[in-house]
Each structure stands twice: as structure tokens, then as C-alpha cells.
Amino acid sequence: MKITFLGAAKTVTGSCYLVEFSDRKIMVDCGMFQGHSRQNEFNEEPFPFDVGDLEYIFLTHSHIDHSGRIPKIYKDGFRGEVICTKATNDLCKIMLPDSGFIQEHEAEWKNRKRIRAGKPPVPPIYNAEEAMESLKCFRPIAYYEDITLDDKLRVRFLDAGHILGSSTLEIWIREDDTENETKIVFSGDIGNSDLPILRSPEFVKEADYLIIESTYGDRLHNSTEDRVHKLMRVMKETINRGGNVIIPSFAVGRTQEIIYEIHKFEEEYPAYVKFLKETPVYVDSPLATSATEIFRNNLDCYDDEARQYIKNGDNPLDFPGLKFTRDVEESKGLNEDQVPKIILSASGMCEAGRIRHHLKHNLWRAESSILFVGYQAVGTLGRRLIDGATKIKLYGEEITVNAKIETIEGYSGHADQNGLIDWVDHIKNKPKKVFIVHGEPDAQEVFSRLLKERFGLDTVIPEYGDHFDLTTNNLSVQKPYQDTKDRFIRLQLLSQIEILKEQADFIGVHIDQAYLNNKSDDEIEELQNKVAELDKDLINIRQRLIKMD
């Protein structure tokens, strides 16, 4: 039996694992690489094996970094089944076509450049229609059901508490010449125990092999106690100033959590009922609107608190002032009248979508607030705003940032280091080997060390293309995976250089005469030393490049 790591290896995106046994092939997740343009480029790479031989894809959840290459693998000839929970199936019905639209737009944008450069146009990785096509392969199943696919293969989905429908997979495999089953557990993305609406992540009792995520393997979340009070305070203060509250929010998951929290606040703090009744809250994202509908149709995934509301005849994803925009006209109209309002819009990191229009109309207004409720990756507009950008460019126009920039932590969809350790602690019969995936290298190293120290576990941090043979206990890279791995490493280096460039630009824009005049001598000296260090490193890289030539 072999496992090959084809994504989320020493990085957080592109989850994809191939399991081979007795000449059969199954896959867990088939996600997209996301983030920098170079990583996106990697999604175009062909799968390094004959996808027609693949029997099943077990999908842990609908996030695009776990599901986004399913339409591509279908386009390339996969005709097996994608098995996932019903809620994941429902969410993929809206998220994969949406991803298809994004691919079409990206290809269009790329082709405009290519045509100007005299190059032939390229097709998108897949379009919305092709994404719709691939949904034919989906087979929704229920949580906890023992799915026996044949006498050699069975699987069970447990709730991972990360997003609606998310799961941890238990896979039992019996090879041709053996009596015993081998149990492989894929943690999927492990959720946070105090996320609104969702149940806490469930534990597994035993595993022979474990493949576990490590996004927050080196960090702890701040206390979540005050997040809802901060949400209310920012909303109230901004509305009283006569401004708008703009909340960049992931369309699926975070938006519904915020709606739920506002509803809950209204129930628990009657003093706010009047304020909330008089303040319109708009959800301005077609994807978020559809996703909210799916949340309302999958009540069986809710935790006890959310179920209690339903039992009492109350809809926890609704409250009197909540409105969903119907079309682009209504969306544009939101910035035309002067009525202070709250607008939830996507994308969550401000990289695309309607949120950019709302930012354009509100960033310059000192009375408005931009409220971040999710992680902002390096290089995104959201991150630049959090880092204190004073001017930004939107639609070719320079806009001064006068609005208040606020962030609320604690709405993380991932367990922190303590959560991950607690999850492993609950496995009674510990695995022979643990593969640490879905994390940045630093987080993985720290987490790996902890697992060794706390539980004496044998851990591996696989790289892209690594092959692990369970029978010989041997980790290697084989043809044709080596070639893909080489290309992957090169694209990753280009990505890092692009990020460096962006960071340098950011420093260049922010450090000017006026900025430096405000700083103390100590601060100037510290900055001077840091810049000198950086300068030395860059000179070293240049010299290395000259030598390599």
C-alpha cells in the first residue's frame, strides 16, 4: 500500500493524496493551489498518473483548496465517484461553478496580455459549465454511515467541525493477500470547538496511519470571549458616526457565522434590539446568499445551541434588519443613499468581488469602518489595509485610507495548537506513523516536535510528490512524480520572489520623510539595522546568481 502526496505538502493549499493498494487507486481531496499567481499556475499541471484508473475521490469538505481540481480531473478523464457528505455535496454545487467563473475570468485577463504579446490564447483550467458537468460524479452520503464499497474498502465520515459538511475520514483497506484491514485516518481540516453553528470536531479512537493538518501547529488563538461584543461595539460606534461598516467576509462559512452571532446578540441583549431593528444589514454576495440557503437546508449539521433556536421556532440565520441584495443594481445602490448600514461582502481578503466597490466608496470616509473577521494572507489587499496602508489603488484610482480599520480575531475555522494536540491525544490506539500536511514549514516543524515529545509519535513531513510505501516503511520520490516535483519547486521559488517584491514595494511606499520624522532615534536605529541585514542578504543572492551564470 502506498500514499503519494500531491498537494498541501509543506504548504496550506492544494490538498490531494493518492492511495494505491492491490493495483487500485483512490484519492482523498482534489484541491486547488491558491495564493500567488505562480501557485495558481501549478493547477494547470496534468495529474502525474492515468486519472482514468482512479476509482474514488473521498472529499473531506467543499473549500476550493480541497475540492477545486475536481472539475479538472473530470475533464482529464476521471469517471469514478466523488464521495462526500450531503452538505459538502450541496456546497460544491455552488462553489465549483463559481470557481469555474473565476477560472474563466483569469484566463480572459491572461489572454488579453498574451494576445498583445503575440502569443496564442490559453483555455481556462475549466469553465463554469465544465464544473457543473463534474457534479455528476458526486455521491452524497450521511455522517457516521459505514460505507462498504466492496470487501476490500470501506469508509466513514466524522464531523470535523470546520465548515458545514466538513469531515474527518476513516478509511479501512484490506489488500489482496492479507486478512487484516489497515486503517488510515485523514483528519481533513480540524475545526475550532467554539465556532458558531457548527458542532465541535469529533475524535477518532484508533488509526494505523494518520494524515493530519497543521495550519496552526505553532500558534494559539486569542480568547474568543469578546469577539461578539467587539462586533457590536464597532457596528454601533460606526452607525452613530453616520458611516457604513464594511465587513469583507468569506461567502461560505464566515458570513453565516456573523449572521448567526448578530441574531444571537439580539436574543441575549434586548438593549440592542432597537438598534438592530433600525440598522439595515446587507449580505451583498450572490455566493453568500446561496450558501446561506444551503446552511438553512442542512440543519442536521448544527450544534445543540443552533438546534435549540430551531426547536423554538426561531431561524438562527435571520433577524429583522437582514437583507440580501438581488442584483448588481441593488448592490451599486447601497453606496448611493446616505443611510448608515452594515455590508457583508466577498471576497474575504478583498482580492476580488463586490467588496472592492464597497471599499472604493468607503475607505476615504473617516466615519466608515472596515471590519476584518478572517485571516488575511500576505500579499492581499486585506493584509495591506491591516498593516496600515495609508493609500491604496482600486480600479486604477488612488484612494486615501481614512476609514477606521478594525479586526476581530477568534473566528478561525481551524483548531489552534492546543486543539490539534487535544485531537491527537484522544486517539486511544496511536498510529504507527503520522504524516503532517496542510501547513507552512515552520508550523509543521513545531507541531512535529510536539507530537514526538508528547506522545512519542513517529512523524514525517512529506514534500510534494513524496511516495510512502506502508509495506516497506520507505519514503521516496519516483518517476514521473520527480519531474512534477521539480517544476513545483521552481514555481514555488518564483512565488517567493514575487512576495519579496511586493514586500519591498510596501516598504518603499510607507517609509518616507514624514514617516521617519515621527520616529525615535532607537526606532530609526533598529530599522537601519534590519535594512542593512536585508541588503547583505540580497547582495549574497546576487553574487550567487552571477556565479551560477
What residue ranges bind Zn ion (CB under 5 A)? 63, 189
Dist CA 231 CA 218 (whole Å): 27
Q: Least distance (Å) from Zn ion to the CB of residue 31? A: 9
State the nearest-atom distance from the C-beta of 15 to Zn ion, in Å.
Answer: 8
Cell of 23: 493495483
Sign of CA dihedral 159, 160, 165, 169: negative
Q: How far is the CB of 191 from Zn ion (least distance, A)?
A: 9
Phi-psi sector, 36: left (phi>0), alpha (psi -120 to 50), beta: beta
Closest to Zn ion by CB, 130 vs 189, is 189
Nearer to Zn ion, 234 or 288 (CB): 288
Q: Which is nearer to Zn ion, 10 or 254 (CB)?
A: 254
- Complex with Zn ion: residue 369 or 444, whichever CB lies closer: 444
Nearer to Zn ion, 166 or 368 (CB): 166
Do β-strands 24-30 and 16-21 pair in parallel, antiparallel, or remain unpaired?
antiparallel
Which residue has its beta carbon closest to Zn ion?
63
Closer of 162 and 183 to Zn ion (Cβ): 162
Rounded distance, CA 358 to CA 361, Å? 5
CA 152, CA 77: separation in Å to the nearest integer? 24
Q: Residue 141 in 3-state DSSP?
A: strand
Tell me whether residue 31 or residue 248 sits nearer to Zn ion (CB atom). 31
What is the nearest approach in angstroms of Zn ion to the Cβ of residue 176? 35
* Least distance from Zn ion to the Cβ atom of residue 301, Å: 15
In the chain the first and final C-alpha atoms are separated, in Å, by: 44
User: Nearest approach, Cβ of 495 to Zn ion (angstroms)?
Assistant: 21
Which helix or strand (DSSP H or E) is residue 370 part of?
strand 369-372
Least separation in angstroms between residue 265's CB and Zn ion is 26
> Which one, 162 or 354, has the nearer CB to Zn ion?
162
DSSP conformation letters of 41-96: HHTTSPPSS-GGGEEEEE-----HHHHTTHHHHHHTT--SEEEEEHHHHHHHHHHH
Shortest distance in whole angstroms from residue 166 CB to Zn ion = 7
Handedness of CA 83, 89, 95, 98 (dihedral sign): positive
Torsions phi, psi of 466, nearest 5?
-65, 140
CB 81 within 8 A of CB 89: no
